[in-house]
A and B are shown apart, each in its own frame.
Chain A
Amino acid sequence: MHAFHIHYRNTQGTLMRILTAVSRRGLEIPYVVASASGHGHRADLLLDVNAKQIGQLCRDWHAIVDVIDVRVGVPTPEMLESATGFSGPHPPASANASGRSAAAMA
């Protein structure tokens, strides 16, 4: 596992461009956190990738107009723990007696 830290300007679609660079390679994203950081935003990702994919991803991310900087590092224990800490699915609530859903069904 490798940790990636991408500093970016939070403009329309930039986070999605960062993520589609991963998804187009069929990779899963076990951990991703995006948050404000300094003057921009920062996305932290944990990915299971080989050396060639690291190079490709870093170059593709850097080519995104609003990405400012890309760094690769060792995952923190918190990232590794979060990556395995799923607590089960949360499907949308089914219609029931509550007012809004009942009105929608009517």
Chain B
Amino acid sequence: MLKGAEIFLKCLRAEGVDLVFGYPGGAIMPLYDALEGSGVRHILTRHEQGAIFAAEGHARATGQVGVAIATSGPGATNLVTGIADAKMDSVPLVCITGQVRSALIGTDAFQETDVFGLTLSLTKWSRLVRSIDEIPQVIAEGFYWAREGRPGPVVIDIPTDFLKAKMEFSGPVKFSPKPRPSDTKADSTFADRLITLLQTAQKPVALVGAGAKLSGAISELRSLLDELNIPTFATVHGLGAVAPDAPYYLGMVGMHGTRAANMALHENDLLLVFGARLDDRVTGDPSRFAPNSKIVHFEIDPAQLDRVRQCELPIIGDLAQTIPSFARKVRGAKLPDWSAWRTVACGEDRAELDPRGLSQPTIRFLDELFGRAPKNSVILADVGQHQMWAAQRYCSDLPRGFITSGGLGSMGFALPAAVGVQLSKPDATVVCVSGDGGFQMNIQELATVRRLNLPIKMVIIDNKYLGMVRQWQQLFYQRNYAETDLSDNPDFVEISKAYRINAVRINEDVMREYPVTSETADALEKFLRSSEPELLVFDCAPEANVYPMVPAGAALSEMLFEEE
């Protein structure tokens, strides 16, 4: 006879879980009581939101399912932002929440919350466990759905009495779903139809999103793009899927994308989309998005098709299968000469950023930092101006090398996510770039970093504002900086020292030297090569802006640039 908690942990192990993140509390205590000797390592964060973002970091860095644990009531509600974040960014996640005793459910018992109902619209699948017997089946099914198709978050809510009860355990179970007659997959004719579209196209382009990376078909995608040799760009989550030095690669597209990428996306007549949702940050005004384009959409999730406009050729299926199928056809096909279009789209007059932007001290700092970081580095960005600067300057070809909260845009994501990344990739250099606003949203996780002695390289781009909101206030609200002034920030260096973490401060003026002084270079090298956690506060101009910028509601071609 085993307790429900022991069975639960054995089932987690059967799913390959050896690392979980969480925060204990009353209803989930029986699970914590059974942790020792279970083979599951638990990481105590200092807030449930820290736990779920750390689980996301682990999942995003490895492709494995992340697991977050919280107790009932406030523990469970503190997971909600992370669940929404995982839903938007297709992160496989299983959240385990303790629930009050089954006999008390529905009585407004102490720390009782309907987490099942609360998360229905945010989860891909969820269950309130109704008996100890259900535990093996629920775990098998939950992990299946977290991984299947477009990955996403799952919630398993378990009353505390089922964790304490005992039963005979005959071992973990496997789950296989019943097929649905309405499921469709791309048939073998799509590649021929796509070749025909390419043969009549004059200005084809390719857009690469997260789906291409999640499929694992990166080498096949790169070979295909080499073969096609058409202007190509990536969403923020597609960064790293295409080698940044490929001659046809134009960088990031969208609200803060490069001039070349946005213009090519606006002007093309055939758009090949590889695993991207085409959300509003990528399309600009949907009614003026790629006005002359026919859209060919490679997508695993049928729910993402036709969201902006009816696509000419929907190709539903795992990109790991559809990309190679298409690539085989391309190799034998006679395709037009697109060199004239390539010259326009990839030409130097569409330089990646405006010249003034490149000399901006924060951009120079990020170039120095990323340029010196080892090749195996994973860069995390929080949410705001620094996120867009980091995305613009990210220069690695590691598919899982740039991690950020893109869809939900959750400030406070990066620091706890970096904990999950560093634990999953102990040999990688993990660089966590935050703003002064977002860093304070989960600053308590410095204690987790210290406790585990994780050598995370934390950077705060400190402009003493909620910078992105301030930028919008400057450009669209007549400089009415309502409630975005953070000039009363604490001294981050002193705070870091209180957590027994080394910290230095660098002023942006040092980035006005060309090249940087040896003193600055040494400081950056020391920061990156340290075997300890390190914090670097980069003081930057309060009113620095991110450019280019496509204003909300504008077409991609209507970018704003820094004024001369």
C-alpha spacing A84/B179, complex, angstroms: 38
User: Would B303 and A17 count as touching, CB distance under 8 A?
Assistant: no
User: Would B182 and A70 count as touching, CB distance under 8 A?
Assistant: yes
User: Would A59 and B121 count as touching, CB distance under 8 A?
Assistant: no
User: Would A63 and B128 count as touching, CB distance under 8 A?
Assistant: no
User: Would A20 and B121 count as touching, CB distance under 8 A?
Assistant: yes
* Contact mask for chain A residues 50-77; partner B; CB cutoff 8 A; 1 contact, 0 none: 0000011001101101001110000000
User: Would A12 and B128 count as touching, CB distance under 8 A?
Assistant: yes
Known contacts A20-B121, A63-B302, A13 near B116 by CB under 8 Å: yes
Known contacts A20-B120, A68-B180, A60 near B303 by CB under 8 Å: yes
User: Would A12 and B116 count as touching, CB distance under 8 A?
Assistant: yes
Interface: B124 (CB within 8 A): yes
C-alpha spacing A32/B304, complex, angstroms: 26
* Contact mask for chain A residues 1-35; partner B; CB cutoff 8 A; 1 contact, 0 none: 00000000000110011001100100000000000
C-alpha spacing A70/B183, complex, angstroms: 11
C-alpha spacing A62/B303, complex, angstroms: 7
Interface: B125 (CB within 8 A): yes
Q: Which residues of B contact A56 (CB under 8 A)?
A: 307
The one of A12, A63, A68 that contacts B303, using a Cβ cutoff of 8 Å: A63
C-alpha spacing A65/B145, complex, angstroms: 8
Interface: B181 (CB within 8 A): yes
Q: Which residues of A contact B306 (CB under 8 A)?
A: 55, 59
Q: Which residues of A contact B180 (CB under 8 A)?
A: 68-69
Q: Which residues of A contact B125 (CB under 8 A)?
A: 65
Q: Which residues of A contact B301 (CB under 8 A)?
A: 63
- What is the chain A residue whose CB lies nearest that of B124? A65
Interface: B97 (CB within 8 A): no
User: Would A69 and B182 count as touching, CB distance under 8 A?
Assistant: yes
Give the total of A residues in contact with B, Cβ under 8 Å: 17
C-alpha spacing A62/B149, complex, angstroms: 13
Interface: B126 (CB within 8 A): yes
The one of A13, A21, A70 that contacts B126, using a Cβ cutoff of 8 Å: A13
A53 to chain B, nearest CB (A): 12
Interface: B305 (CB within 8 A): yes
A68 to chain B, nearest CB (A): 5
User: Would B126 and A12 count as touching, CB distance under 8 A?
Assistant: yes
Interface: B127 (CB within 8 A): yes
* Contact mask for chain B residues 157-192; partner A; CB cutoff 8 A; 1 contact, 0 none: 000000000000000000001001110000000000
Q: Which residues of A contact B302 (CB under 8 A)?
A: 59, 62-63
User: Would A16 and B120 count as touching, CB distance under 8 A?
Assistant: yes
C-alpha spacing A3/B225, complex, angstroms: 44
B279 to chain A, nearest CB (A): 14
The one of B121, B127, B181 that contacts A17, using a Cβ cutoff of 8 Å: B121
* Contact mask for chain B residues 226-263; partner A; CB cutoff 8 A; 1 contact, 0 none: 00000000000000000000000000000000000000
User: Would A16 and B181 count as touching, CB distance under 8 A?
Assistant: no
User: Would B126 and A62 count as touching, CB distance under 8 A?
Assistant: no
Known contacts A63-B301, A68-B181, A68-B182, A12 near B117 by CB under 8 Å: no
- What is the chain B residue whose CB lies nearest that of A24? B121
C-alpha spacing A72/B303, complex, angstroms: 16
Q: Which residues of A contact B121 (CB under 8 A)?
A: 17, 20-21, 24
Q: Which residues of B contact A69 (CB under 8 A)?
A: 180-182
A103 to chain B, nearest CB (A): 18
* Contact mask for chain B residues 379-410; partner A; CB cutoff 8 A; 1 contact, 0 none: 00000000000000000000000000000000
Interface centre among B117, B126, B128, B303 (most CB of A within 10 A): B303
Q: List 12 A-B contacts (CB under 8 A).
A: A12-B116, A12-B128, A16-B117, A17-B121, A20-B121, A24-B121, A59-B302, A60-B303, A63-B303, A65-B124, A65-B145, A69-B181
> Closest 6 interchain pairs by CB?
A63-B303, A59-B303, A20-B121, A69-B182, A65-B125, A16-B120
Binding site for B on A (CB under 8 A): 12-13, 16-17, 20-21, 24, 55-56, 59-60, 62-63, 65, 68-70
Supplied contacts A12-B128, A20-B120, A59-B303, 7 more A-B pairs, CB within 8 Å: A59-B302, A60-B303, A63-B302, A63-B303, A69-B181, A69-B182, A70-B182
